[in-house]
């Protein structure tokens, strides 16, 4: 049981390191805070919260995987190498795909609400 609980400590340390050291992770975090605040403001529905939570988790996880891959490859192969560059590009592309998917969720959930503000401001 102790090892199981210790795994949460390690995971928490990894998450803290991600946000402390990675600029893009902090950008994603700020975006997540803004989206959550917008969700609270507009009182989005339960299913919308599920979609928002999954989008935030997916982007954050993709950023963590990308960071881990880059750190490992930089350590194993510090010199410029086309195969390493290719792997890093693929990992970064995964983050971009996750972010685009999250943006699509945002457009579906918040787009009509934002449009209503533009068309008929209160």
Integer Cα distance of 33 and 48 in angstroms: 15
- What's the pLDDT score for residue 122? 62
Torsion angle, CA of 112/114/96/26, rounded to 10 degrees?
-140
pTM: 0.91
pLDDT single digits (tens) 32-73: 999 999 999 999 999 999 999 999 999 999 999 999 999 999
The CATH number of 2-119, from 3.30.70.1070, 2.40.10.220, 1.10.287.3610, 3.90.1210.10, is 1.10.287.3610
For 13, the token pair is: 């340390």
- What's the pLDDT score for residue 121? 66
Q: Give me the residue spans of the domains in the chain.
A: 2-119
Q: Which residues are catalytic?
A: 63
Integer Cα distance of 18 and 5 in angstroms: 20
Integer Cα distance of 103 and 99 in angstroms: 6
User: What is the enclosing helix (H) or strand (E) of 65?
Assistant: helix 46-76
Mean pLDDT in residue range 113-117: 93
At 120, the pLDDT band (50, 70, 90 cuts) reads: confident
């Amino acid at each position: 049981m102790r090892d199981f609980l210790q795994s949460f400590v390690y995971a928490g340390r990894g998450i803290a390191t991600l946000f402390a050291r990675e600029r893009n992770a902090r950008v994603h975090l700020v975006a997540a805070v803004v989206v959550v605040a917008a969700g609270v403001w507009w009182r989005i529905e339960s299913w919308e919260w599920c979609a928002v939570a999954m989008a935030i988790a997916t982007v954050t996880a993709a950023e963590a995987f990308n960071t881990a891959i880059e750190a490992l490859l930089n350590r194993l192969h510090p010199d410029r190498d086309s195969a390493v560059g290719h792997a890093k590009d693929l990992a970064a592309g995964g983050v971009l795909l996750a972010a685009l998917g999250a943006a699509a969720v945002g457009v579906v959930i918040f787009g009509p609400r934002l449009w209503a503000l533009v068309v008929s401001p209160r």
